């Protein structure tokens, strides 16, 4: 195991800057997830860390070694790929032990490591099978086993669950988390799935357009997003955003859904802001701030429902621009009874749950 230190690493393809200066300190044994939309630079950063892509500048330390210019095989890391990268003509045992064989590991030691990894990953009964005889989840376990037997200083994982179906992804998330707790190897994991990031990581690095937006534990990202992008990216369904205006005075307030909403614990200057409210912070029935809506769509998920409703003239925001294509908003409510579109309902929220963002910069105000 080892600490990883990434300092001002960036990547250019000619005039195209795909990765802006990226700095991150990853502690020994930590599980860090890089997440963001396609093209944000997360996979590029992982490839640079693995030595598969040269950096245009900056430095990388793994443990006490500068590996910036070292070949992948000299970095003492193990990588798990999206497509498993198993050899189809080799058995599971041979696939898991392939790297050890190439390094000249003694047969007795190699067999011991393979058997240990197979037992941890519960693939002992499949050691004599070939990849085509395995399910997707079993193949992914074999790919993990090949990484484990290396006993590297760090694991690098590039969207390893994206080829699995939804149910199996949930199961493998739990397995990878349990595996990390058991062996404690420093892990850098890349995904575009914010649910994977939030459920697996000790810290999450949110990226956009080649730049870090926020680095924090999952709970902090959800409760205290640094900016509009992070607030909208984290959470399912995403946060509702609306243009609003702060009115000053002894009791600052803003007007949302036709209501004057007092602002608690924050005193932004008067002027335009973007207000944010998470769907799960809207409740059915009267509350501190109540308003009536006629749902345009109701989606039932069993014990809870998603209520889509018109914002009533309140302009919705997407990123930093007004979204004129739809003014629909979402409430995520606990409700097991019948609820129909078009049936007037009362929704409410606590003003303390309201988020405010600077209308110009998108930066969070007061959180």
In angstroms, the CA 313 to CA 148 distance is: 56
pLDDT of 326 strictly over 70 = no
For residues 71 and 165, which has the higher predicted lDDT (pLDDT)? 71
CATH, domain range 234-358: 2.40.50.140
pLDDT bucket at 323, cuts 50 / 70 / 90: very low
Average pLDDT over residues 93-111: 92
Q: Give the CA distances from residue 67 to residues 30, 50, 111, 149, in Å, rounded to whole numbers and listed in that order.
A: 19, 9, 30, 22
Average pLDDT over residues 36-61: 95
Give the ranges where the chain is alpha helix by DSSP (H): 42-50, 92-102, 107-121, 136-149, 166-183, 194-200, 218-223, 228-233
Tokens representing residue 52 in the block: 């598969």
**Distance between first and last Cα of the chain:** 36
Tokens representing residue 259 in the block: 């209501």
pLDDT of 324 strictly over 80 = no
Query: Are the CB atoms for 95 and 81 separated by under 8 Å?
Result: no
Give the percent of the chain with pLDDT over 70: 95
Residue 74 main-chain phi, psi, to 5 deg: -100, 5
Exposure of 28 by Cβ count < 10 A (0-12 exposed, 13-18 middle, 19+ buried)? Answer: middle
Exposure of 62 by Cβ count < 10 A (0-12 exposed, 13-18 middle, 19+ buried)? Answer: buried
Exposure of 236 by Cβ count < 10 A (0-12 exposed, 13-18 middle, 19+ buried)? Answer: exposed
pTM score, whole prediction: 0.88
E strand or H helix at 3, and its extent? none
What confidence score (pLDDT) does residue 56 get? 96
What confidence score (pLDDT) does residue 325 get? 37
pLDDT bucket at 367, cuts 50 / 70 / 90: low
pLDDT of 318 strictly over 80 = no
Query: Are the CB atoms for 102 and 89 separated by under 8 Å?
Result: no
CATH topology of domain 4-228: Rossmann fold (3.40.50)
What confidence score (pLDDT) does residue 322 get? 45
pLDDT of 316 strictly over 90 = no
pLDDT of 258 strictly over 50 = yes
Tokens representing residue 82 in the block: 């999206």
Quick: pLDDT tens for 138-189.
Answer: 898 899 999 989 889 999 999 988 888 888 888 888 888 888 998 899 999 9
Query: Are the CB atoms for 306 and 298 separated by under 8 Å?
Result: yes
Query: 3-class DSSP state for residue 42?
Result: helix
pLDDT bucket at 315, cuts 50 / 70 / 90: low
Q: At what angle do helices 136-149 and 107-121 cross, to 10 degrees?
A: 140
Instruction: Return the domain boundaries, the chain.
Output: 4-228, 234-358
């Amino acid at each position: 195991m080892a600490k990883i230190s990434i300092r001002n690493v960036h990547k250019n393809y000619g005039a195209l800057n795909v990765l802006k200066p990226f700095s991150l300190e990853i502690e020994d044994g930590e599980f860090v997830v890089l997440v963001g939309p396609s093209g944000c630079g997360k996979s590029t950063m992982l490839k640079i860390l693995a030595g598969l892509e040269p950096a245009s500048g900056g430095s990388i330390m793994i443990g006490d070694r500068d590996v910036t210019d070292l070949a992948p095989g000299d970095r003492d890391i193990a990588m798990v790929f999206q497509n498993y990268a198993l050899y189809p003509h080799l058995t599971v045992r041979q696939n898991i032990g392939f790297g050890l064989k190439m390094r000249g590991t003694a047969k007795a030691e190699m067999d011991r490591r393979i058997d240990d990894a197979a037992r941890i990953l519960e693939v002992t009964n499949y050691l004599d099978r070939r990849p085509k005889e395995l399910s997707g989840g079993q193949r992914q376990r074999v790919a993990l086993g090949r990484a484990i037997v290396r006993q590297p200083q760090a694991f690098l994982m590039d969207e390893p669950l994206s080829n699995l179906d939804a149910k199996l992804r949930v199961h493998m998330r739990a397995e990878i988390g349990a595996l990390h707790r058991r062996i404690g190897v420093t892990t850098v994991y890349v995904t575009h799935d914010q649910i994977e990031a939030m459920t697996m990581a000790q810290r999450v690095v949110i990226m956009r357009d080649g730049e870090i937006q926020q680095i924090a534990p999952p709970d902090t990202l959800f409760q205290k997003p640094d900016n509009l992008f992070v607030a909208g990216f984290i959470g399912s369904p995403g946060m509702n955003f609306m243009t609003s205006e702060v009115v000053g005075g002894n009791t600052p307030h803003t007007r949302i859904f036709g209501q004057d909403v007092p602002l608690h614990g924050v005193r932004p200057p008067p002027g335009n802001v973007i207000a944010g409210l998470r769907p799960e912070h809207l409740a059915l029935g009267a509350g501190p701030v109540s308003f009536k809506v006629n749902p345009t769509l109701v989606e039932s998920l069993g014990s809870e429902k998603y209520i889509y409703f018109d914002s009533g003239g309140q302009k919705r925001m997407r990123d930093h621009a007004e979204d004129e294509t739809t003014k629909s908003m979402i409430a995520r409510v606990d409700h097991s009874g019948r609820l129909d579109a078009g049936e007037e309902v009362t929704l409410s929220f606590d003003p303390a749950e309201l988020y405010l963002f600077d209308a110009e910069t998108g930066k969070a105000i007061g959180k």
